Structure 1
Amino acid sequence: MVLQRENCWLIYATYRYIFSCNDALEAEIHALMQGMALDLEHSDMPVIVQSDSSNALATIEDDAWSRSAYGHIAEEIKTLIVDREFIPLKISRDHNRVAH
């Protein structure tokens, strides 16, 4: 997870191990949740989430995912962003070199 200002200045970068994970989608959703929680603690600006996973971003935006295996994580993310402007951005994998 990388938190940066609008001008791309780095605020901080962090990582976390996920010891039990079913697939890449679950890992991506967990990363989104942890990153958004950290952002809410350290910033009061709108949350702009960039991900190369359109499926992970869809879990946050779409109510249809609430019945999926990861619906509980999606609901937790939605409770985090109730009082904040949330802007999901799909980026290409080439732009996400930090994570890969």
Structure 2
Amino acid sequence: MVLRNEDGSVIFAAYRYFFHCNDALEAEIHAIMQGMALAIEHSDKPVIVQSDSSNALAVLSGDTLSRSVYGHLDAEIKAHLVVREFVPCKIGSEQNRVAH
């Protein structure tokens, strides 16, 4: 997770291992959720959430209750959306070199 200010300079960066994920989608949703929590702690401005996973970003824009196996993560992300404005932004995997 990389938090940047308006001019693109890095405020801070963090990483974490997820040892018990069922698949890449679960890892991406976890990373988004953790990044949102850190952004709430370290910034008071709206946050653009960039990911190369459109399925993971769909959690941010979905208004309905998720009945998927990741519904508990969906609920935590929805709780973060109440606190701060988060704008989902799909990027290409070539733009996501930090994560790979």
The residue identity in structure 2 corresponding to 1:61 is: S
Which runs of 5 or more structure 1 residues have no equivalent in the other structure?
A: none
What is the RMSD of the two structures over their aligned residues, measured on CA atoms?
A: 1.1
Q: Could you tell me the percent identity over the aligned residues?
A: 66
Q: Distance in 2 between matches of 1:76 and 1:48?
A: 18
Which runs of 5 or more structure 2 residues have no equivalent in the other structure?
A: none
Give every structure 1 segment of 4 or more consecutive aligned residues whose post-TM-superposition deviation is greater than 3 Å: none
For residue 60 of structure 1, report the CA deviation from its aligned partner: 2.3
Query: TM-score, normalised on structure 1?
Result: 0.94
CA distance 1:79–1:6, change in 2 (3 Å): same
SS of the residue 1:87 aligns to? strand
Query: TM-score, normalised on structure 2?
Result: 0.94
Q: How does 1:33-52 map to 2 (within 5 A)?
A: 33-52=33-52
Q: How does 1:17-96 map to 2 (within 5 A)?
A: 17-64=17-64, 66-96=66-96
Q: How many residues align?
A: 100
Q: Distance in 1 between matches of 2:41 and 2:33?
A: 13
Q: Distance in 1 between matches of 2:69 and 2:83?
A: 26
